[in-house]
Structure 1
Amino acid sequence: MNQDLIPSSLTDLYNNMVAGFSSELQELVELVVTPGWRQYQLVIILFLWALAFLLKVLTQPRWDAWTRARTGWPKWRLRTMVQLMQRLTLVYFVLLSWLLYLVMQHVTWPSRSYLIGIIATLATAWLAIALVARLVRNRTLRRIFKWAMWVYATLVALNLTDDVAEFLDGVAISVGDLHISLLGILKAILLIGVLLTLARIGTRAAERGLQSNDDITPSMQVLLAKGIQVLLYGAVFLAAIRTLGFDLTGIALLSGAIGVGIGFGLQKVVSNLISGIIILMDRSIKPGDVISLGDTFGWINALGARYVSVVTRDGREYLIPNEDLITNQVVNWSHSDKFVRLDLDFGTSYEDDPHKVRATAIRAVKAVTRVLSGGKHEPVCHITGFGDSSVDYVLRFWISDPTKGLTNIRGNVYLALWDAFQDEGISIPFPQREVRLLPENANMQQIAEE
């Protein structure tokens, strides 16, 4: 290679890149202003775009009807179809331009379809980028990804990637053996974005696969999903470090020292993480269980790495640290099974036959929805004592769906008892007090005697 052609400084790199841009821009200007096939290609491109728009107007209703009829398709395929329908003009333009470009390459001189090939390449890249960008959920990151890929596609179409890459690689910082260039940073950012998107898609696919496997318990499903997530995102982190040029062995001691310091400062966080792993492994609680912890009663919505999400009947969502579930007493209403026994206390008058009261109460509770009957889940009613103004009873019955609430089923049973006792003439007494007013003279005499 001629040594005179090798750039000796960043200024030379910049000048080479500007020269490359100027050359390509001048060539494009000549393609436009020079009479002949160059201008014909521009007219052909405009005609193809108008034809693509016309095809969209004519065929979009049919495509809409065909897409709506695909009821059995998965959601990702339907979303892709919606994205294509929103860019139907661009889709038709890509198909028409490539078809015409391939035909002209075989029947005429290649230079007569050069501009059509560039526009077809750019249109295809823009369509692909628009579809792939939907995988990035964050709106800001999606815009950055779109603009970066559009710029890169434009450089590829104009054959300017080598000049730009050479310039970006020259903008660098060197510390010993470490060489960090702007090109390396951009590659790392792009790689991290792609890998993070793939990691998120892979994690969700693994979660759906584990949830559909009935042979794996819910706790193990969460544990395996978290393990896969840690492995995937850990691999992304290591790939990012390697892409930037850092030596992993060189930062091992530094990371160990930082880890010790973080361990002392984040004891609670580490404790919650370890407690979460213990909960998942011993399967003491799992998603869907109904638990009581202090004044909180609800069902477990999700198991996180640091906390457990518990949703109550009033719609509140409590984020309980995993350590509290390990160290405190937790009532799991559905640990081994979902059958829950409820006790209701009530009293009737001494004038009512206890045998009749018990039979009426059992018959009334059996008529309530959600109450189980038969076998060991048969409702029972027992006398618990003789009170000051009533005979006291306890009514015991079973339900199998505590997630639907306990207060509402108790209220329905009380209402059924009220209706049944009204029909049978059974009274529910209440404490009565008798107040006696003494004559005024008697009051004065009583006070004098005292």
Structure 2
Amino acid sequence: MTIADAEPDGAWQVLAFGCFGRDAMIFALRSLINRCIQHGSLTLVLPGGEQLTTGDGSGLPLIIRLKDTRAILELLLNPELALGELYMDGRLIVSGGSIYDFLDLLGRNMPGLVPPQIGRWRHAIRTGIDRWKRVNSEKIARRNVHYHYDIDDRIYSLFLDRDRQYSCAYFESEHQNLEQAQIAKKRHIAAKLLVPTGASVLDIGSGWGGLALYLADFYSAHVTGLTLSPQQLKMAERRADEKGLKPRVHFCLQDYRALSDTFDRIVSVGMFEHVGLRSYETFFKVISRSLKPDGIALLHSIGRLDGQSATNPWIAKYIFPGGHMPSLAEVLPAVENSGLIVTDIEILRLHYADTLAAWRNRFLSHRADAAAVLGERFCRMWEFYLAGSEVGFRYGGLMVFQMQLTRKIDAIPNTRNYIAEEESRLRQLEQAAAKHEAVMQLVHSR
């Protein structure tokens, strides 16, 4: 099964409905929304026609309609899960704005996006038991990757940039578009890696191959890219062939735990979120043994600003099963136990929110194409995913960190000036490469 096949399971809720009176549920729902929304304007229209209004009347007057009575119970018992399920099933309708406007309203009113009352208790319990979840074995990891990344390949072309960078972009200015910001992200990472010409590089979670091809192109690096997605592997290999980089880039379908070689540089972008909390020690020990003594590694991952927290249950069920967004306090002990040295940490706060906004706008502009491929329910699910994730980075304590790691304390210059200097050099090379490509396209078009 993949993400496109996900179905809600709510049989237990049908049984629970008989234990509650309708008036009591409406009273509880009124209390819930009044606690959730103090600023803004929200009207909740129930199946029987009752209207529950909350907020101070400011801002966009949003209207939420619930299409069946059972939805009330689902929202009361597990709002973090039910909200997304109701929207993707068409049982919760937003008018006066979009689902993003509604989630943005919640984000501006709810610290950490944790609902009050029973929702806060459920969240605390999930966070408490999160560290005891089973280890993401190689089999489970492959299944989780297949679930999200091996849906119809056309979907990702509808909202990602041309290079298919499916991770946080780096917006150097507010005037940059998504294409420019994703190139800036690769440039920023490459600068931190200090890649020598012809170096051996390992890319853990290489996706569709964009970063590996960038390093092979601009540094003549010999890059090994690991992925667990057959679809990503197929496209990455084709792209390497088209760019004439196949002799220097090798993509393979392999788990990071099976590594036996050593490399001058190791990079991992947007993969660590899938490792799982109980596998952090293993992950960094693999990095340590696979990195040459004078090597440099760079980890780019989603994290949390507000301490340990369980993954949102809707995201865990429908989007990224087995995923965990760690706080630095959860990551650093595993790094220290591996013998690696943290030489630099950069926190990218709102870059992913801006990336997700660009993805959401692109997806919505191609929504009809997506519906033709995977249906309306998938489109509502994907829209909720992109909107909810953006709100999470704006209000819910999410961020992205870039952690630079070495085995030797003197492997990195004493100041960070080298990053800007290398970015400037790469920018000139990119411009020259773009001009050359434009000339070649003009020649071939004649």
User: Structure 2 length normalisation: TM-score?
Assistant: 0.21
**Which of the pair has the greater relative contact order for Cα pairs under 8 Å at 6+ separation?**
2
- The normalised TM-score by structure 1 is 0.21
Larger Rg: 1
